[in-house]
């Protein structure tokens, strides 16, 4: 099975459509949260994802805050204003969809969480010491996260040390038997000094993970 893995679309329909065109053929979509917030097209982006027949989706902090399920107090001023605007645009159908999104999903051998397996809505995983402790909070071989808007991966090596990988554009990694936490990057608002929309493709037959 070929799976399109996306995160942090942030209501950027132009970026999402570019990803869908670039990705080619795939069998399923896994979305790691933050479909809305910041961008101008929240309902349209949610509908794009919902239109696929096989979708696994979790909620992010912006998704939950935009519908009132999470307080705006922890957001900075720009994000808060964007969420207030987003809330006024959302249709009842979009609100219901976002409300029903879980914070975590398990699809063996993968756990999906927006921020981290320990704090799914809020924690950023960018440095090895913090990531090292996160492996205790999920039981599967792999955990897929978003939230940081940076394509990155962490692997526990043979000595149980956390090793960091910063992938280049269009790089491929073969998933093995060592535990990993993997971030596909952000579709709608990359924060890795590369303005291109980021996404990943996972082939569950060959166990190849491609960053794009």
- Enumerate domains of the chain plus CATH numbers: 2-211 (3.60.21.10)
Question: Alpha carbon of 72 to those of 86, 88, 101: distances in Å?
Answer: 12, 15, 18
Instruction: Tell me the three state secondary structure of residue 124.
Output: coil
- Strand 55-57 and strand 28-31: pairing? parallel
Question: 70 Cβ partners below 8 Å, 6+ apart?
Answer: 61, 64, 121
Query: Residue 168: its pLDDT value, please?
Result: 84
What DSSP state is assigned to residue 137? Answer: G
Query: Residue 38: its pLDDT value, please?
Result: 95
Residue recorded with tokens 């799976």: 3
Query: Residue 121: its pLDDT value, please?
Result: 96
- Judge whether 131 and 162 are in contact, CB under 8 Å: yes
The CB-side HSE value for 9 (13 A sphere, CA atoms) comes to: 33
User: Going residue by residue through the chain (212 aa), what tens digit of pLDDT does each one get?
Assistant: 999 999 999 999 999 999 999 999 999 999 999 999 999 999 999 999 999 999 999 999 999 999 999 999 989 999 999 999 999 999 999 999 999 999 999 999 999 999 999 999 999 999 888 899 999 999 999 999 999 999 999 999 888 899 999 998 889 999 999 999 999 999 998 876 667 899 999 999 999 999 99
Query: Residue 193: its pLDDT value, please?
Result: 67
Give the containing element (helix H, strand E) for 81.
helix 77-89
Query: Residue 27: its pLDDT value, please?
Result: 98
């Amino acid at each position: 099975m070929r799976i399109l893995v996306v995160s942090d679309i942030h209501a950027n329909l132009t970026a999402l459509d570019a990803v869908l065109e670039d990705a080619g053929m795939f069998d399923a979509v896994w979305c790691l949260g933050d479909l809305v917030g910041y961008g101008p097209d929240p309902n349209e982006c949610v509908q794009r994802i919902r239109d696929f027949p096989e979708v696994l989706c979790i909620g992010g902090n912006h998704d939950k805050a935009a519908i009132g399920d999470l307080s705006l107090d922890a957001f900075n001023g720009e994000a808060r204003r964007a969420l207030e605007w987003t809330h006024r645009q959302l249709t009842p159908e979009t609100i219901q969809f976002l409300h029903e999104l879980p914070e975590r999903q398990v699809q063996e051998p993968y756990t999906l969480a927006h921020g981290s397996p320990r704090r799914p809505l809020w924690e950023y995983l960018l440095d090895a010491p913090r990531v090292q402790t996160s492996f205790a909070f999920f039981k599967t071989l792999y955990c897929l996260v978003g939230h940081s808007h940076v394509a990155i991966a962490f692997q526990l090596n043979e000595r149980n040390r956390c090793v960091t990988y910063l992938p280049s554009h269009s790089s491929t990694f073969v998933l093995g038997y060592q535990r990993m936490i993997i971030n596909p990057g952000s579709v709608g608002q990359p924060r890795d000094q590369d303005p291109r929309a980021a996404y990943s493709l996972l082939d569950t037959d060959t166990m190849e993970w491609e960053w794009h």
